[in-house]
Structure 1
Amino acid sequence: MDNLDRYDRIILQTLQENGRASNVELSDKASLSAPQCFRRVRRLEAEGIIRGYAARVDPATIGLGVMAFVNISIDREQSKQVRTLEKAIRQFPEILECYTISGDFDYLLKVVSTDLKSLSSFLTDRLMQVHGVSGVRSMVCLEEIKPSSPLPLEHAK
């Protein structure tokens, strides 16, 4: 990836704020011609800088009122099967995000559920049954203070 120039940053910032911005809007913001802007967006997509476009849906409005962060420990004897465990984790739609982490646990998950009972059921009856999971610790989110935000492009290369 080449360094991002001023125009790329303007395009990326605009798309992070409004993923539905038209090419005309982008070209106006970046002070570029529409064809130049279009080529830049396609290049940013091709290079994987822009991963995709999606609508951000408020989970509570569709009945997913509980969010939790879940730490998972893996069974050290099963560590050779870690990719199988990760494949299983990818299959759960309740798991929105998954990260490998350092420290006392191996993975950090962001999980949504309809209520505490269904979260408990998911953790006990499904997640803890995945081969290789040796421990689970959950923390229920009480309030979302700062939802997913645009990346700070002023710090990008």
Structure 2
Amino acid sequence: MDAYDRNILKWLQGDGRMSNVELAERIHLSAPQTLRRVRTLEESGVIRRYAALVAPAAVGLEVTAFVSLSLDREQFRNVREVERNVIAFPEVIECHIISGDSDYLLKVVAASLKSLSVFLTDRLMQVPGVAGVRSMICMEEVKPQSSLPT
């Protein structure tokens, strides 16, 4: 990955809908060279996908919580099944394996505190193999999802 590739990533992370011609102008390469580089970045998995970033509150998701999840050590042999169950919930928008006191850190969205409580109690905590759940409610988003440094 050279400076041109990094520059492509910088611009596309800011605007994934930018035309190839506009991108080529910004990075000072010809349009065919730029397109070839973008395709290589896509095919190699550097660019995973393109998506629209939606404001949660604009679609009725007023609550964001970070949830630490611990697994039952007796059920650890079923860890991939637990993961499949957890990531199948649409409320879980991120899932990370972490070190420390918990096994996973989830980012969860919900319409209200009540609906978050129902989700945690009636659904997430009922997944076989889940031993413990601790939630931290996000009071205010200071820096929303942003570009990776290039």
TM range (shorter): over 0.9
Query: Match for 1:43 among 40, 65, 71?
Result: 40
SS at match of 2:17: coil
CA displacement 1:75-111 (0-9 Å, x = unmatched): 0000000000001012100000000000000000000
Query: Match for 2:118 among 116, 121, 127?
Result: 121
Q: Which amino acid counterpart does residue 108 of structure 2 have in structure 1?
A: V
Residue in 2 that maps onto 1:89: 86
Q: Which amino acid counterpart does residue 45 of structure 1 have in structure 2?
A: E
C-alpha displacement of 1:25 = 0.8
Q: d(CA) in 2 for partners of 1:78 and 1:116?
A: 30
Percent identity at matched positions? 63
Asked if 1:142 corresponds to 2:139, the answer is yes
May I ask how many residue pairs the two structures share in their alignment?
A: 150
Asked if 1:102 corresponds to 2:99, the answer is yes
Superposition pairs for residues 17-32 of structure 1, below 5 Å? 17-32=14-29
Q: d(CA) in 1 for partners of 2:10 and 2:107?
A: 25
Q: d(CA) in 1 for partners of 2:94 and 2:136?
A: 15
Residue in 1 that maps onto 2:51: 54
Q: d(CA) in 2 for partners of 1:143 and 1:10?
A: 31
Instruction: Specify every segment of 5 or more residues in structure 2 that has no aligned partner in the other structure, as ranges.
Output: none
Q: d(CA) in 2 for partners of 1:102 and 1:90?
A: 19
TM-score by length of 2: 0.99
SS at match of 1:138: strand
TM-score by length of 1: 0.95
Q: d(CA) in 2 for partners of 1:71 and 1:6?
A: 38
* Alignment RMSD (CA, Å): 0.5
C-alpha displacement of 1:19 = 0.6
SS at match of 1:72: strand
Structure 1 runs of 4+ aligned residues shifted over 4 Å read none
Query: Match for 1:7 among 1, 4, 8?
Result: 4
Asked if 1:68 corresponds to 2:65, the answer is yes
Instruction: Specify every segment of 5 or more residues in structure 1 that has no aligned partner in the other structure, as ranges.
Output: none
Asked if 1:16 corresponds to 2:13, the answer is yes
SS at match of 2:22: helix
CA displacement 1:17-46 (0-9 Å, x = unmatched): 001010001110111111100000000000
